[in-house]
Amino acid sequence: MESENALLRIISSLPAEDKFIVESLHETALALGYNAKISPVGKKPDDWKCEYIAAKPKRVLYILRITGPRFSIRAKLFHIAEYSDVLENCTGHSKASLLSASKDCENHGGGCAGPISFTIDGKAYSKCRHFFLFEGIKLEDVEGIQRLLQNEAKYSADI
């Protein structure tokens, strides 16, 4: 309950629609069995992150980043190739956000298993497994992002 109160305090800087979006995605992660770990980022008082972590195996589903009146979600979609059809059915806005904001793989100095390759709308992509970024999330994007998170949780549990 402490993390719930902390999250409510942190999202108070967000506009009303963004609060609803963050709360919806938060509830999705909790329902999937992930725990919220909130911590400040840097020295600014309005810069926070919340990692949604599964206990076993210890795995991060996504990281919510809140900086003042803005937020973003960095999802760990390690199995997106298995459910790329779910991404294809997301809104055009969320697909465009994910594809433009997500980084290409830099292999993290050799300590990474490499990029994730997947196909959406007939085009092949290869992105960093640690950096599937959603920015500027709109209300109509939430359902699709929730389905992505649900599928990732399912495929992560199957290993």
State the residue range of the domain holding 83: 2-157
> What's the whole-number mean pLDDT along residues 36-49?
84
pLDDT in tens, 43-91: 777 789 999 999 777 889 999 999 889 999 999 998 999 999 999 999 9
Distance (Å, whole) CA 86 – CA 23: 22
pLDDT by residue (tens digit) across 91-143?
A: 999 999 888 887 776 665 666 677 888 888 889 888 877 778 899 999 999 99
pTM given for the model: 0.89
Residues 143, 80: contact at Cβ < 8 Å? no
Nearest alpha carbon to residue 31 among 148, 159, 146, 157? 146
pLDDT of residue 47: 86
Indicate the number of domains in the chain. Answer: 1
Neighbours of 27 (CB within 10 A): 11
Between 34 and 111, name the one with better pLDDT.
Answer: 34
> Residue-wise over 11-20: b if at least 16 C-beta within 10 A, else e?
bebbeeebee
